[in-house]
Amino acid sequence: MSGTTRLGIWLLTVPLVFVAMELWAALLHGRIWHGLLWRVHRSHHRLRRLGERLEANDALSLLHAPIAIALILYGCQGREGVARELAFGVGLGMTLFGIAYLVVHDGLVHGRLPVQGLLRFRYFIRVREAHQMHHRGRDVPPFGLFFGPLEIRQRPRAASESTLPAQRTDAEGPSPRRTSTNTSGRFRAVSRTNR
Ligand SMILES: [Zn+2]
Ligand SMILES: [Zn+2]
């Protein structure tokens, strides 16, 4: 297989996988993280103690990493052919999505990385605003990140409901969430910060 063909397969696969991962992540977030795995995911929505750097929810972010690594390894070591190049492209797309999610969600929206410079782009301002809406109530869309602004536009009612103040329902069940970020995207310097 020629180098050009390989490159062509990767260039086709990576963006498709990126979009597929966004849709898959939104589905997981809405149906599983806010359902079966709420006990883990709520660590991302509740108040965070000052100085607390990690949250249980971070483990969910790593779930796809072994799959991406395995695909890339197969793409490097496997028998030559279309399957090997596809595996490499899928693994690369998953990896790029994971990095982008980390930078935009954890870094930009929640202020865990110094990437506020991205706010010079209007798109990232809208992504941040959309995700902040998600943190304003119980099961409030958008559940996707990069398509978050689009999701809000398609569900204007849910988005407007998300502007209502969050109300606690019970101590043990899924708790309401409020955004932790102020207008600059940084955590507030309070005894506990919420996310
Ligand atoms: Zn959530
Ligand atoms: Zn978040």
SS3 25: helix
Which of 161-172 are b and which e, b meaning 16 or more Cβ less than 10 Å from the residue's Cβ? ebeeebeeeeee
> 48-84: per-residue pLDDT in tens?
777 778 899 999 999 999 999 999 999 999 999 999 9
pTM for the model stands at 0.79
Residue 109 DSSP symbol: I
Nearest to 130 by CA among 114, 112, 154: 154
Pick 20 or 174 by higher pLDDT. 20
Distance from the alpha carbon of residue 9 to the mean position of ligand 2, in angstroms: 33
Length of the chain: 195
Tell me which ligand sits closest to the C-alpha of residue 187.
Answer: 2
Distance from the alpha carbon of residue 92 to the mean position of ligand 1, in angstroms: 25
Q: Which residues contact 60 (CB under 8 A, 6 or more apart)?
A: 33, 37, 40, 41
Distance from the alpha carbon of residue 184 to the mean position of ligand 2, in angstroms: 15
Distance from the alpha carbon of residue 38 to the mean position of ligand 1, in angstroms: 9
Tell me which ligand sits closest to the C-alpha of residue 128.
Answer: 2
User: Is the pLDDT assigned to residue 178 strictly greater than 60?
Assistant: no
CA angle, corner 9, sides to 4 and 15, nearest 5?
A: 125
Tell me which ligand sits closest to the C-alpha of residue 142.
Answer: 1
Q: Which residues contact 47 (CB under 8 A, 6 or more apart)?
A: 192, 193, 194
Tell me which ligand sits closest to the C-alpha of residue 109.
Answer: 2
Distance from the alpha carbon of residue 54 to the mean position of ligand 2, in angstroms: 13
pLDDT of residue 175: 40
| CA–CA gap between residue 107 and residue 167 (Å, rounded) | 27
Place of tokens 């309401």: 176
